[in-house]
């Protein structure tokens, strides 16, 4: 496979293709007749998915640096480059995005009845935006994509949403825009600091990371970035936009929102927050605060979720709980914690996406989301119930599903760093059962009393085609997560070394028994001269695949 | 002589300006305004602006003010001035800000005396010599038709537009 | 004499301002604006006595613009009057949100 | 001595051990596919307003014929494979566990967990019990569940359960064990709620899962502690290092063992987390037999035995295990005295017997605990299946006459021995076994536990162990009482089913009674694998029936040896006499004769009571009511835990989330709107006002510029 991809020059063009093909697809959707829009969109997203799958093999798990890097100047006077690359962290986010887009588009065939062209065009635009967020290694570019993603989501909620769609869309927009504006300010500060220090105007990731900042500066910038990401994640107490947005959003919107958009926040934590402001991020108070917020997210939102009458809102709150595990894992700053957090991100993307799809399927059949309107429908929809049960169990982290791997690793990582926090967070496994099982019971079990429920249809072939791969992924990751873990390990170690390299005297989490970080091996630090290539220096040829590591090719 | 004339005209201008603001009848206000314009024209002469003084009388007082008068008469506003002047808090506040504005300007100007504008201004007699050489009108001809010709032409267009606009606005719907 | 002229100009400007703020009659407000323009004109003229002819050119333009303004403004007032049967500005509150 | 057990010699060559796990999985997949196919058809029927019916009127479809062979077949095959391995292990000299690694499950920079199974004497015993008893119960299910429309689904679940149970007992590390641990919990959830349209049954399943999760929380935290201490989670490495790394009686190991104990109380239904098990009887009876008697609930005991090294290092933790076990044994037995539902009696009996096992592993007699686990699996599975046969018969009888009476209520039974003689006999065998009467299996295992509890009375925490010993003796007597009551109420005396119904009562079909007979045989002879030395010498040795005493003990020695060594070194091991004097033999004779006497007396007493059918009966009063109401523990938990949590959740949602958190966010929005409103006040629409503010602005600018 690797050879085949190399023969295609895959590494050279794939990221650009992933970024721009959705836009091409969007144009074609807009130009084509309305009746073909969904099929065109599906075709394009499938093509993109298939192309992106090559990343799985083309990616070199041995290095924690950026791969498939390419860059060309965009706005020269400001040092803005169109620079893209992937590493073990963004790889899975990109794959998750391409996968989720297909699923979301396929899942909206029956749901979206009006302005179909616009809807599918926006979905493809969203794909570009999100992939851009994950592959950009220029902060200006990153910011542009970050904001682009707001627009389609705003319209998806506001146009195709439920009754209170305007309120929800505005709330979604205001919350996230507020955070990102603060981030922009911090970003510009960073940029001007870098320019003052080096004399070179550059928004490049590697350049901005080399800015030396005082602890005070770091704290403020950390706060600004952190707020932007925390709202997106969302971290308690910035989460209230999420339930509203989810409840009002159409199914595909919810799927994308849960599976991908939230990940942008935690991705930002990993990609920017920790490496840019290592001292602030490692400050004990900051760590404690973030962990407490993560734990509140896990425990408190589990409680809140448990008493929701609206199934979709319930799942929305569980999203907050899951992302709490991610926050916890990230701020544990241990290999286990970070990798666990990443797996939770993947797993949550699949399982919560699937839950929203399933709820959407129920909604299409019954036109209600209230739990009490259902009951006993496992009798008439055995397949749907089976898929729902598996997904729900993944969501609550049953061993043998992807949810367990993520939660277990992030909890282990948390426990290594802060045992008490780890113990409190582990109680989340109890509350997960407490919110999910009653809902499953009230919807699928109990007596089949209502006549409308009796007439519900089971899964259609299209729906099976959507859910099948998702369920398979949940179980695959549950039983064999190694291919995922091995691909992210080097990158995670790189991030950690960058973070902890700043404070080398950090106590070893294991004491005498040692060996936490395993064999980080020959991970090249960010200060290495090779990385200078990663910076703003103009790379005119877009096609030239410039990998910033010496050992390849 | 000039000094005395200036002060006299200044008192007249100021007094009629105040009267203009405070008279309830629009026609009276207008007439006080004409008085102010006329006394200002005298002051213009004192400052060697003969041409402008003429224009002030002919165009401003003669044409524009008459236009106002026509409108007042056309609208028959002679008796509609019962609630015209604001009172109470509005009056106090307005008096305050305009007083402050005037006071600010006055104190600023006074502060710059006796060396006006940090000594950049001297009575060098440049205007007198220019007028002596080219005459009162001739002195303005060159700057107007050479230096500021574009602005001049644009002003012409502006007037044209204003005429058309006034016609279009004021024309009775048929 | 310059300072005195400028002070006069300032006072006239203040009086004009006061008129704009206090009068409700649109035509009188207009007149007060003309007064403000004249106050400025006075300052220009007074200064041109010491700085050169350019100030007078400015005053010329101001007068022209004032003429144009008077024409259009009065036309507007006329048409407003036709509609509302009054020129009292308190009756025109379309500017209110 | 141990050399003798392991006989001859040479290395142990496992025979496809993965197949033992794989076969039930294959069974699950096949049955699951059939179940999905059948589910579609029955759903179609439900949609058309009919009850799904695969049995009558037309031929049984393939989806309902194949599971008959697949379900029991795979488990039977797994049993055969396990047996082959057992024979090989017997013939080999195995001191270290054999690890089979299949793939790397989780590997991060520091943590590495292999998908590996561990074959040693302990897991071998458990494999045999799980697959063997499991097979018999599968066979029984063919008869019991044959007419259920969800037949393939049932077997899919059951196979899945066996799969997870085998992972649990064969896993080579804590996380792998945990997969099985939670997996069986999940299977228990779906099997309890198998008839999910019945709200009570679905509730019971949910309750089981959530309560189990509380225990799992303890298990998880224990894993974290172990990982941070040892840097690995593999059994072999942890147990090798534990004696040197951990301090005997230290805080760390005590914390670990207490957390593991929390996990075990959840899974094995001990105080305080036992409340789910009685409700779990809502599931089909074979499920109760398999999961809630023979296998899953013993997972806690297995886990304690598996981690015996840690528990031996933590005397306080071990004592807690034993205390909880003893308390549970006594407590549950008293509740069992007053229940009328035949399965509930058995459920409380199970809880009580699990308490014994806890006492066994708690006092350090790990082999005795496992021994009781094994014999209990035989006779309790027999009791449940027997009660299943009874319920089956009752159900059919009541079904024929459309009676609404409860087929599980013993007040509606009585005199059934005439109708179901085989069931009657095998049930008596099991009753005698559980009552601890010589020579039935329960006698050996229970007696051994009680003996060892007493034998710790002179070491550290001696008084506590004396107390435990007394409690165990008392519970043994209670066991004899409630079991005799059950038997007499069900099979003896006057028939209370009603005239018409009685005509329809009949013995279970062979597919159901054959497994019963097999289990009865095991219940009789199963105890002989671990005959105490003292008894072997005096009773059996003479007949030459058993080559050696305490075979199971010796067999398990490679696993439990290190723990026993620690125990001997630090705690002084076991004494050779009971707290109040007397040797093992004396107490064995005493207890068995006492039990026999209790059985006879209580049979007399119970026979004398004139029971009325359930619908004519009134609720008991006084102490009996407290027992009948299970000490009101469910109500207590409801008031102390469930309701406060729900109230707290509502508070968190309505007040905190919607009120405060969202309130602040919306409040900011309203604040912005308020500012906007204030700004509109300036928009008077009056030109003068606008001019006024313009002048103010000019003033400000002028003031800034000029001065």
- The helix (H) or strand (E) run that includes residue A67 is strand A67-75
Asked whether the predicted pLDDT for residue A542 surpasses 60, the reply is: no
Q: How many CB pairs under 8 A join A and D?
A: 203
Which residues from D are below 8 Å from B when comparing CB atoms? 688, 692, 695-696, 698-699, 702-703, 706
User: Average pLDDT in the A67-89 region?
Assistant: 91
Contacts of C17 in chain D (CB under 8 A): 695
Are residues D608 and D702 located together in one domain of the fold? no
Burial of B77 (0-12, 13-18, 19+ CB in 10 A): buried
Q: Length of chain C, please?
A: 97
Phi, psi angle pair for B170, to nearest 5° = -90, -15
* Residue D149: per-residue pLDDT: 86
How large is the C-alpha radius of gyration of chain B? Answer: 20
The whole-angstrom separation of Cα A6 and Cα D60 is 57
- Determine, yes or no, domain membership for D79: no
Residue A500 tokens read as: 């902890």
Chains interfacing with B (3 or more CB pairs < 8 Å): C, D
Phi/psi of residue D551, nearest 5 degrees: -65, -45
Q: Which of A360-364, A377-381, B112-116, D154-158 has the lowest mean pLDDT?
A: B112-116
Which residue of chain D has the CA closest to B85?
D688
Q: Using the 8-state DSSP alphabet, how is residue A71 labeled?
A: E
Task: Give the closest of B86, B93, B104 to D702, CB-based.
Answer: B104
Q: What is the dihedral of CA D282, D287, D289, D294, to 10 degrees?
A: -120
Contact B104 D699 (CB under 8 A): yes
- Residues D606, D480: one domain? yes
* Burial class of residue D64 (count of CB atoms within 10 Å of its CB; 0-12, 13-18, 19+): buried
- Give the residue from D686, D692, D694, D696 with the most C CB atoms within 10 Å of its CB, the best one to mutate: D686
- In this complex, does chain C touch chain D, defined as having at least 3 beta-carbon pairs under 8 Å apart? yes
Task: Work out the angle at residue D161's Cα, subtended by the Cα atoms of residues D158 and D167, and round it to the nearest 5 degrees.
Answer: 150
Contact criterion met (CB below 8 Å) for D562 and D309: yes
Residue of D nearest to C13 (CA): D695
The number of C-beta contacts closer than 8 angstroms across B and C is 243
CB D429 within 8 A of CB D545: no
Calculate how close chain C gets to D690, using CA atoms only, in Å: 9
- How confident is the model over A375-384, as a mean pLDDT? 90
DSSP character string of A91-157:
HHHHHHHHHHHHHHHHHTTTT--SSHHHHHHHHHHHHHHHHHHHHB-BHHHHHHHHHHTHHHHHHHH
Q: Where are the domains of chain A?
A: 283-501
DSSP for D390-431, written as a single string: HHHHHHHHHHHTT--S-TTBGGG---GGGT-HHHHHHHHHHH
Q: What does the DSSP assignment read for D174-210?
A: HHHHHHHHHHHHHHHHHHHTSSTTSHHHHHHHHHHHH
pLDDT tens digits, D165-201? 999 999 999 999 999 999 999 999 999 999 998 899 9
Domain end, chosen from D584, D614, D644, is at D614
CA distances from D296 to D218, D287, D300, D442 (A): 18, 10, 8, 19
Main-chain dihedrals φ then ψ at residue D532, nearest 5 degrees: -60, 150
Record: contact B94-D698, CB cut-off 8 A:
no
Tokens of D682: 């300036």
Look at residue A412 and tell me whether its pLDDT is greater than 90.
Answer: yes
Where do we find the tokens 């302990």?
Answer: D122
SS3 A449: coil
C41/B contact by beta carbon, under 8 A:
yes
Neighbours of D364 (CB within 10 A): 30
Closest Cα to residue A339, out of A249, A415, A410, A250? Answer: A410
Q: Determine contact: A484 vs chain D, CB below 8 A.
A: no
* Residue B112 sits at the chain C interface (C-beta within 8 Å): yes
pLDDT at D684: 77
Closest residue on chain D to B112 (Cα): D706
CA dist A119 to A148, A172, D178, Å? 15, 18, 45
Regarding chains C and A, contact by 3 or more CB pairs under 8 A is answered as no
CB-CB neighbors (< 8 A) of C96 in chain D: 683-685
Nearest CB to C89 within list D683, D688, D692: D688
CB A152, CB A143: distance < 8 Å: no
Chain D residue with CA closest to A480: the answer is: D105
The CA angle B75-B77-B79, to the nearest 5 degrees, is 150
Closest CB to A489: pick one of D109, D225, D230.
D109
C8/chain B closest Cα distance in angstroms: 7
Average pLDDT, chain B: 85
**Could you tell me if residue D644 is inside a domain?**
yes
Spans of all domains in chain B: 1-79
pLDDT at D544: 55
Q: Which long-range contacts (CB under 8 A, 24 or more apart) does B153-160 make?
A: B155/C61, B155/C64, B155/C65, B158/C64, B158/C65, B158/C68, B159/C64, B159/C67, B159/C68
Strands (E), A296-352: none
Q: Is B116 on the interface with C (CB under 8 A)?
A: yes
Average pLDDT value over all residues in chain A: 87
Share of chain A above pLDDT 70, in %: 91
Please indicate whether, in this complex, the C-beta atoms of C95 and D680 are within 8 angstroms of each other.
no
Of the candidates C20, C92, C97, which has its C-beta nearest D680's C-beta?
A: C97
**Prediction ipTM score:** 0.81
D678 in C contact zone (CB under 8 Å): no
Report pLDDT digits (tens) over A45-58.
999 999 999 999 99
Which residues in chain B are closer than 8 Å to C17, comparing Cβ atoms?
Answer: 97-98, 101-102
Please check whether residue D688 touches C, CB under 8 A: yes
Quote the number of domains for chain D. Answer: 2
Q: Please answer whether residues D328 and D277 qualify as being in contact, where contact means their C-beta atoms are separated by less than 8 angstroms.
A: no
pLDDT at B119: 59
Query: Which residues of chain D are under the pLDDT cut of 50?
Result: 1-8
The answer to whether D36 and D29 have CB atoms below 8 angstroms apart is no
Q: State how far the Cα of A26 lies from the Cα of D124, in Å rounded to an integer.
A: 61
User: Cα angle at D630 between D636 and D650, to 5 degrees?
Assistant: 25
Name every chain B residue with its beta carbon within 8 A of the beta carbon of D688: 86, 90, 94
| B49, B126, B147 member nearest C45 (Cβ) | B49
Q: Which residue of D has its CA nearest to B89?
A: D689
Is some CB atom of chain C closer than 8 A to the CB atom of D684?
yes
pLDDT at A550 over 70: no
When pLDDT is averaged across residues A214-238 and rounded to a whole number, the result is: 92
Q: Residue holding tokens 């509740």?
A: D335
User: Which tokens belong to A260?
Assistant: 């991908």
Token duo for residue D673 = 């709107």
User: Using the 8-state DSSP alphabet, how is residue D508 labeled?
Assistant: P
Domain enclosing residue D456, as ranges: 387-614
- The residue among D627, D313, D379, D579 whose CA lies nearest residue D467 is D579
A404, two tokens: 């367990």
Q: How far apart are CA D469 and CA D582, in angstroms?
A: 14
Contact assignment for C94 to D685 by CB distance below 8 Å: yes
Q: Distance between CA atoms of A309 and A368, rounded to whole angstroms? A: 11
**3-state DSSP call for residue D617?**
coil
Contact B21 C18 (CB under 8 A): yes
* CATH architecture, domain B1-79: Up-down Bundle (1.20)
- The secondary structure element, H or E, covering residue A72 is strand A67-75
Residue ranges of B 9-68 with Cβ closer than 8 A to chain C: 10, 13-14, 17-18, 20-21, 26, 29-30, 33, 36-37, 40, 43-44, 46-49, 51-52, 55-56, 59-60, 63-64, 67-68
How far apart are alpha carbons A149 and A100 in whole angstroms? Answer: 15
Q: Are C97 and D688 within 8 A, CB to CB?
A: no
The CATH number of whichever domain residue C69 belongs to comes to 1.10.287.3510
Residue D606 shares a structural domain with residue D644: no
What confidence tier does A528 reach under pLDDT thresholds 50, 70, 90?
very low
Residues D416 and D507 in one domain: yes
Close Cβ partners of A350 (under 8 Å, ≥ 6 residues apart): A96, A259, A394, A402, A470, A473, A474, A477
Angle (CA) B60 B62 B68, round 5°: 75
DSSP string, D90-137: HTS---S-EEEEEEEEEE-SS-EEEEEEEESHHHHHHHHHHHHHHHHH
Burial of D71 (0-12, 13-18, 19+ CB in 10 A): buried
> What percent of chain C shows pLDDT beyond 70?
95
Based on the fold, state whether residues D462 and D590 are members of the same structural domain. Answer: yes
Chains that touch D (3 or more CB pairs under 8 A): A, B, C
pLDDT above 50 (res A544)? no
Mutation target vs A (from D25, D41, D110; most A CBs, 10 A cutoff): D110
Mutation target among D21, D108, D115, D165 for the A interface, most CBs of A within 10 A: D108
Question: Is residue A517's pLDDT more than 90?
Answer: no
Would you tell me how many other CB atoms lie within 10 Å of the CB of residue B69? Answer: 17
- What span, in angstroms and rounded, lies between the C-alpha atoms of A88 and A487? 6
Which pLDDT does position D379 carry in this prediction? 92
Average pLDDT, chain D: 88
Distance from CA of D662 to the nearest CA of C (A): 30
Residue owning tokens 């009292």:
C88
Q: Is the dihedral of CA D576, D582, D585, D587 positive or negative?
A: negative
Query: What residues make up the domain containing C54?
Result: 2-89
Give yes or no for A494 touching D (CB within 8 A): no
Cβ of C95 and D688 within 8 Å? Answer: no
Q: Which residues of D touch C94 (CB under 8 A)?
A: 685
The answer on pLDDT for A421 being more than 70 is yes
Q: Is B10 within 8 Å of B41 (Cβ atoms)?
A: no
């Amino acid at each position: 496979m690797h050879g085949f991809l190399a023969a295609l020059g895959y590494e050279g063009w794939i990221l650009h293709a992933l970024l721009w093909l959705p836009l091409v697809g969007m144009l074609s959707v807009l130009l084509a007749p309305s009746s073909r829009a969904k099929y065109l969109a599906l075709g394009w997203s499938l093509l993109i998915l298939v192309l992106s799958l090559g990343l799985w093999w083309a990616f070199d798990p041995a290095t924690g640096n950026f791969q498939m890097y390419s860059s060309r100047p965009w706005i020269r006077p400001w040092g803005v480059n169109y620079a893209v690359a992937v590493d073990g962290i963004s790889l899975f986010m990109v794959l998750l995005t391409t996968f989720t887009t297909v699923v979301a588009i396929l899942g909206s065939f029956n749901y979206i009845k009006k302005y179909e062209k616009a809807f599918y065009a926006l979905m493809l635009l969203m794909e570009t935006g999100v992939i851009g967020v994950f592959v950009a290694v220029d902060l200006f570019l990153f910011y542009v994509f970050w904001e682009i993603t707001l627009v389609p989501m705003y319209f998806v909620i506001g146009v195709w949403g439920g009754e209170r769609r305007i309120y929800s869309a505005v709330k979604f927009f205001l919350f996230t825009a507020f955070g990102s504006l603060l981030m922009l300010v911090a970003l510009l500060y960073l940029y001007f600091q870098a320019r003052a220090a080096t004399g070179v105007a550059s928004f490049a990731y590697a350049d901005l990371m080399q800015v030396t900042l005082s602890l005070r500066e770091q704290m403020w910038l950390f706060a600004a970035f952190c707020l932007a990401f925390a709202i997106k994640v969302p971290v308690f107490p910035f989460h209230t936009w999420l339930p509203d947005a989810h409840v009002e959003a159409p199914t595909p919107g919810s799927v994308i929102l849960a599976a991908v958009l939230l990940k942008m926040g935690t991705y930002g934590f990993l990609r920017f927050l920790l490496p840019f402001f290592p001292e602030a991020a490692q400050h004990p108070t900051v760590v404690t605060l973030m962990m407490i917020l993560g734990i509140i997210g896990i425990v408190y939102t589990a409680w809140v979720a448990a008493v929701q009458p609206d199934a979709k809102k319930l799942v929305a709150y569980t999203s907050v709980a899951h992302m709490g595990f991610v926050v916890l894992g990230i701020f544990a700053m241990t290999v286990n914690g970070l990798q666990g957090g990443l797996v939770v991100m993947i797993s949550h993307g699949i399982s919560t996406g699937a839950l929203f799809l399933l709820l959407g399927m129920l909604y299409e059949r019954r036109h209600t989301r209230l739990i009490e309107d259902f009951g006993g429908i496992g009798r008439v929809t055995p397949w749907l119930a089976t898929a729902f049960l598996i997904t729900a169990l993944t969501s609550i982290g049953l061993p043998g599903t992807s949810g367990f791997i993520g939660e277990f690793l992030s909890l282990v990582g948390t426990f290594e760093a802060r045992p008490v926090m780890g113990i409190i967070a582990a109680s989340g496994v109890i509350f997960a059962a407490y919110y999910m099982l009653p809902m499953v019971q009230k919807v699928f079990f109990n007596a089949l009393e209502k006549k409308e429920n009796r007439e519900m249809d089971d899964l259609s072939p299209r729906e099976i085609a959507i859910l099948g791969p998702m369920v398979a992924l949940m179980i695959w990751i549950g039983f064999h997560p190694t291919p995922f873990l091995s691909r992210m390990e080097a990158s995670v170690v790189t991030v950690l070394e960058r973070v902890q390299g700043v404070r080398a005297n950090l106590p070893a989490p294991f004491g005498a028994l040692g060996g936490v970080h395993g064999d980080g091996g020959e991970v090249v630090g960010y200060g290495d001269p090779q990385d200078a290539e990663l910076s703003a220096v103009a790379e005119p040829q877009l096609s030239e695949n410039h990998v910033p590591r010496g050992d390849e090719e | 002589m000039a000094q005395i004339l200036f002060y006299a005209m200044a008192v007249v201008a100021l007094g009629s300006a105040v009267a203009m603001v405070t008279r309830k009848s629009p026609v009276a206000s207008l007439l006080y305004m004409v008085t102010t314009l006329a006394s200002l024209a005298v002051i213009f002469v004192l400052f060697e602006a003969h041409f402008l003084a003429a224009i002030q009388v002919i165009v401003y007082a003669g044409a524009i003010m008459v236009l106002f008068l026509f409108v007042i008469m056309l609208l028959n506003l002679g008796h509609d001035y019962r609630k015209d002047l604001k009172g109470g808090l509005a009056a106090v506040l307005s008096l305050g800000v305009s007083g402050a504005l005037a006071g600010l300007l006055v104190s600023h100007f006074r502060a710059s005396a006796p060396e006006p504008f940090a000594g950049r201004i001297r009575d060098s007699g440049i205007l007198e010599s220019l007028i002596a050489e080219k005459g009162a009108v001739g002195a303005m001809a060159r700057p107007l038709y050479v230096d500021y010709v574009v602005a001049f032409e644009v002003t012409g267009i502006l007037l044209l537009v204003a005429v058309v606009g006034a016609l279009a606005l004021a024309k009775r719907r048929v | 004499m310059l300072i005195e002229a400028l002070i006069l100009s300032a006072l006239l400007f203040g009086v004009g301002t006061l008129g704009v703020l206090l009068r409700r009659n649109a035509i009188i407000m207009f007149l007060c604006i003309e007064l403000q323009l004249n106050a400025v004109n006075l300052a220009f003229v007074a200064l041109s006595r010491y700085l050169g002819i350019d100030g007078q050119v400015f005053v010329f333009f101001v007068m022209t613009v004032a003429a144009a303004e008077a024409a259009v403004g009065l036309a507007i007032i006329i048409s407003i009057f036709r509609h509302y049967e009054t020129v009292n500005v308190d009756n025109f509150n379309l500017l209110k949100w | 001595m141990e050399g003798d057990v392991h006989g001859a010699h040479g290395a142990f060559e496992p025979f496809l051990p993965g197949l033992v796990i794989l076969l039930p999985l294959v069974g699950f997949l096949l049955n699951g596919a059939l179940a999905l196919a059948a589910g579609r058809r029955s759903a179609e029927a439900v949609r058309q307003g009919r009850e799904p019916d695969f049995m009558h009127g037309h031929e049984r479809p393939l989806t309902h014929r194949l599971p008959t062979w697949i379900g029991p077949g795979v488990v039977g095959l797994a049993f055969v494979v396990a047996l082959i391995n057992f024979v090989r292990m017997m013939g080999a000299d195995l001191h270290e566990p054999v690890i089979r690694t299949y793939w790397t499950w989780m590997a991060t920079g520091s943590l590495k967990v292999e998908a590996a199974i561990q074959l040693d004497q302990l897991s071998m015993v458990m494999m045999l019990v799980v697959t063997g008893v499991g097979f018999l119960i599968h066979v029984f299910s063919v008869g019991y569940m044959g007419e259920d429309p969800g037949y393939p689904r049932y077997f899919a679940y059951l196979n899945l359960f066996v799969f997870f149970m085998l992972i649990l007992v064969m896993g080579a590390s804590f996380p792998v064990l945990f997969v099985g641990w939670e997996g069986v919990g999940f299977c228990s959830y779906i099997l309890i709620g198998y008839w999910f349209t019945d709200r009570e049954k679905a509730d019971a399943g949910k309750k089981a899962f959530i309560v189990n999760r509380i225990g799992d929380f303890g298990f998880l935290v224990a894993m974290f502690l172990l990982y941070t201490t040892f840097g690995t989670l593999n059994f072999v490495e942890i147990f090798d290092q534990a004696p040197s790394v951990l301090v005997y009686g230290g805080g760390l190991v005590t914390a670990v063992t207490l957390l593991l104990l929390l996990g075990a109380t959840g899974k094995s239904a001990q105080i305080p987390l036992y409340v789910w098990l009685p409700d779990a009887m809502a599931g089909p009876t074979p499920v109760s037999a398999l999961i809630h008697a023979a296998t899953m609930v013993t997972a806690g005991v297995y886990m304690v035995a598996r981690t015996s090294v840690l528990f031996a290092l933590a005397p306080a933790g071990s004592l807690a295990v034993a205390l909880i076990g003893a308390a549970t044994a006594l407590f549950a037995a008293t509740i069992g005295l007053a229940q009328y539902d035949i399965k509930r009696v058995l459920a409380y009996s199970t809880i009580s017997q699990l308490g014994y096992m806890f006492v066994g592993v708690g006092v350090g007699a790990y082999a005795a605990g496992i021994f009781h686990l094994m014999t209990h699996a035989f006779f309790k599975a027999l009791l449940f299946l027997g009660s299943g046969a009874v319920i089956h018969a009752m159900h059919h009888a009541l079904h024929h006459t459309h009676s609404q009476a409860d087929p599980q209520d013993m007040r509606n039974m009585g005199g059934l021995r005439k109708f179901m003689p085989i069931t009657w006999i095998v049930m008596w065998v099991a009753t005698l076994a559980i009552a601890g009467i010589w020579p039935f299996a329960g006698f050996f295992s229970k007696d051994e536990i009680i003996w060892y509890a007493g034998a710790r009375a002179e070491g550290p925490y001696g008084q506590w162990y004396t107390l435990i010993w007394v409690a165990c003796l008392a519970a043994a007597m209670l066991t004899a009482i409630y079991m005799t009551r059950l038997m007499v109420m069900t099979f003896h005396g006057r028939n209370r089913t009603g005239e018409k119904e009685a005509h329809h009562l009949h013995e279970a079909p062979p597919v159901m009674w054959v497994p019963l007979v097999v289990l009865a045989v095991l219940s009789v002879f199963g105890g002989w694998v671990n005959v105490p030395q003292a008894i072997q010498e005096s009773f059996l040795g003479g007949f030459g029936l058993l080559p050696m005493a305490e075979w199971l003990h010796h067999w398990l020695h490679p696993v439990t040896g290190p723990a026993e060594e620690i125990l001997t070194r630090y705690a002084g091991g076991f004494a050779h006499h009971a707290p109040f004097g007397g040797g093992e033999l004396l107490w064995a004779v005493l207890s068995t004769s006492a039990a026999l006497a209790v059985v006879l007396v209580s049979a007399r007493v119970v026979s004398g009571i004139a029971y009325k059918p359930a619908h004519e009966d009134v609720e008991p009063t006084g102490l009996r009511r407290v027992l009948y109401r299970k000490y009101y523990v469910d109500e207590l938990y409801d008031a102390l835990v469930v309701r406060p949590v729900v109230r707290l959740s509502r508070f968190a949602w309505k007040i905190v989330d919607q009120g405060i958190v969202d309130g602040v966010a919306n409040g900011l929005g309203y604040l912005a709107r308020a500012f906007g409103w204030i700004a509109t006040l300036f928009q008077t629409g009056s030109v003068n006002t606008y001019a006024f503010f313009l002048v103010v602005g000019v003033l400000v600018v002028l003031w800034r510029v000029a001065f």
